Every structure is written in C-alpha cells, then in structure tokens.
Amino acid sequence: MKLEIATFFVKNVRFSNETRYDSGVLEINKEELVRLVLEDKRVLSADLDVAFPGEKTRIVKLRDAVEPRVKVVGPGCLFPGILGPVETVGAGKNHRLSGVTVMLSAEYVPTILSGTAAQSSGIVDMWGSTAQLTPFGSTINVILMINLVDGVTELEAHGAMQLAELKVAQRLATTTIEKAPDDIEVFELSKTDPSLPRIVYVAAASITWQSPHSGLAYYGLPVRESLPTLMHPNEFLDGAITKDVRIGNGSRPTTWSWMSPAVILELLRQHGKQLTFLGVILQRTRFETEFGKQVTAACTSQMARLLGADGIVSTRISTSGNNFMDMMLTVQACERKGIKTVFITPEWGGKNGDELPLVYYVPEATSMISTGSFERDVMMPKPEKVIGVGNCQFVQLYAGDKLYAPASEFTLPASFCLLDGVDCLGRLNLTCEQY
C-alpha cells in the first residue's frame, strides 16, 4: 500500500465569515461548525475558541485532540467505521493541516461515578514549563466545547463527543482540497535489500475490561477479547486506531498521537535505508490473569517470528502496572525466540526519582528506553485566560478527585493529569541531567 500525505502548514487561525485556508492562514466560520456539530441531537450546545503557543492560556475539561485530515484519493475515508463504512485504509492520498489541532472540551452527566471506567479530563497550558510536558503546548489549538443532553449512556456520550471532534477536524481539512501543498511525504513498504535488519513494531492496546468502551478501538470497534492483530503502518495514518474520548487524562494517548505515531513514522522513514519495516502488531494487553498474559506474549512473539523479524521495537500505552507485566512477558517471549527487542516505556520512580522505576522485570529486558517519569509533581502557574466548556471556576480531573481552581496557581500530583502528559509513544524530547 502506498499513501501520500500532503501537508499544509498553519501559521495562524482566526474566526471569519468563511471557513477556508490560504497561505498558512486558517479561517473558521464558527457558526457553520457549530451547526455541523448540532446536527447530532445528542449535542445540546457547542462553541469554539482558539489557543496559541506562548499565550498564558490554560485549557481544561479536555477529552481528546485530533489533527485535521481528509482523504482526497483512495479507498475508504479518514476514521473508517466512524466517519464512513469499514474499508481497509492506508492507501491513496491525504491532506493534513500541520501545526493545528482540534481539541475536545466536553461535559455530560455521567452514569459511572467511580473507578477506572469513570470519565476523566485533562489540562493543557500554552506557556511555560508545563507547555513542554505535552505536544499541544506548541500547536495552535482550536477548542471545540460541547455539552451533551441529559440521559445519554456512557457509550452514547463517547460516540457523540468523538463524532463531533472528527467532523470538525475533517471539515477544516477540506479547506485544502484543490490547493498545492507545502510538502508531500510518501509512505510505502516497498521491496528492500535483503541484508537489512527486519523490524516489527509492537504497540500495546491496553484495555479497561470493565468499561463501556474498552479504551482503544480498531476501525471504530472497541478492542476487547482479542489476540494480537497484524496491521499495515499506513492504517494508523488514516485513523484506523481511535480512543475512548470519555477518558481525557494523559495516561493514554490521544487520537492525535495515534494519527502521528512517532515510532511508526520513523520506522517508515528508515524503511529501505537502515531497516526493513515488516509491519505493526497491535497487541491487546492488561489481561486479568497471568495465563492470559502468557498467551498474548506467546502469540505476539510467534507472529513476529513467522514474519521473519530480526528485531522488535515495542511501546505500551498505559501507566498501568498490569499492562506493564504483559509487555515485559512479551519482551521475554520474543528474546527467547531469538528476536532482539527494544522496549520503550515511561517509568515510575516516585516524586523525587529515587524509587523503583519498574514494577516488574525480566532478565531478558536488556534494552529499554525511558520516556520519563510520570509521578513527579507538576507546578501549574496562574494563567491570564482559561478556556473550557461550561463553568470553569472549579474542575475535577478524576471521579472522586479533589477540585482544582484553574484560574489560579496549583500543583498537580502527576503529569498524567495533562492531556498526553505521559509520553507513551516516544514523541517528546524529555531529558534529564545528573548533578
């Protein structure tokens, strides 16, 4: 499969009487997009705002973020199973607006009031040190704020919120149709020199089994009792993987991150140069029993061996220790089959970094890359502006958690309180120094 990604760089966003893109400027007709969102009768109200990097702006009640893209050539559509019928994607040509996101700030009346299956939300700062802890501190963010009608179920709430953000993102991307892009990049798993190392990427699909939505969806279908699934990397770039947008905390990647997965993109770019990229194994993790963990590890490693892999790069997408055990057992199973494995993972370490960084370990895990500790306190300075749906005098990030006053200075207990605040997919450049 061959996929062309045409990029249009966005340097400024402003509201206007027309939705259009020209020479780096994205103009948005707010009324048009609000009408588009209100076509869904589950949405009670909608509004839009924009936040720019460097402004002392705080965005709250965040559920998800997505990059504006639209398919202009080829089979299927962006976000198959959600915005269109299920059809294998990853081929053709897409247009993307780079440097801008659509962020979802949403409220509804929940029916699950406690536990990991309950709704949550995240925060993003557009200035200062906290802006560096999430990719969205450096992008222009179009914030879609919606309220849902009373009486929706948890799964209906997810569906309504997700549909709203994806429709807005696609509409913004359609402004580039018939225009010349600033850049075009081609992704294809072409034939390579047989002497190059053969690499597979293993992406953990951490599942919340007691939740109405499992947490991760494949072509719009929540992944539940699934064994590992082989995917073409281009499918990710077409939105084949999405998340539960009820869960806005940083312990799970946003849809934006799944659309631009750093490791997959780098492996695609090095294909035929330094390596042969064989594909992606989407591995369902966080099994409830040790037996289930052993089975998924054995299945993943066997799939990689049948593909003829010399090496594996693996990541995990949750701060869960349960999920971490699945991935460690997978590293062990792959190494025992003779497949060299690199494990990329955030770590624990405690508030001061002097506690155990790993909750479980196997002796075969000899090549690991840390993307940083997520347990450190995060100091949130006082903003000049707060953007978010509804009354933002106080916000609650987790069910049963304390209330925060976002217009003031406060301290968060961990970076997973920020949207995409945990680097699960190796996209940020966090570093540390030893004194």
**If residue 187 lies in a helix (H) or strand (E), which one and from where to where?**
strand 183-188
Half-sphere exposure of 291 (CA within 13 A, CB side): 0
Q: What's the per-residue H, E or C state across 206-267? A: ECCCCCCCCCEEECCEECCCCCCEEECHHHHHCCCEEECCCECCCCCCCHHHHHCCHHHHHH
Q: Give pLDDT, residue 318.
A: 79
> Average pLDDT for consecutive 10-residue bins of the chain (435 residues)?
97 98 98 98 98 98 98 96 97 98 97 90 96 96 98 97 98 97 98 97 87 93 92 98 93 92 96 98 92 96 98 88 92 98 91 87 93 90 98 92 95 92 78 58
Q: Give pLDDT, residue 433.
A: 61
238 burial via Cβ count (<10 Å: 0-12, 13-18, 19+): buried
Cβ atoms of 381 and 356 within 8 Å: the answer is no
> Which of 34, 40, 8, 2 shows the shortest CA–CA distance to 19?
34
Q: Give pLDDT, residue 397.
A: 93
Residue ranges per domain, the chain?
A: 2-417
**If residue 336 lies in a helix (H) or strand (E), which one and from where to where?**
helix 321-336
Q: Give pLDDT, residue 70.
A: 98
**If residue 76 lies in a helix (H) or strand (E), which one and from where to where?**
none
> Pairing state of beta strands 100-107 and 221-222?
unpaired
User: Is the whole-model pTM more than 0.85?
Assistant: yes
3-state secondary structure of 369: strand
DSSP H stretches of helix in 85-238: 154-173, 233-237
**If residue 332 lies in a helix (H) or strand (E), which one and from where to where?**
helix 321-336
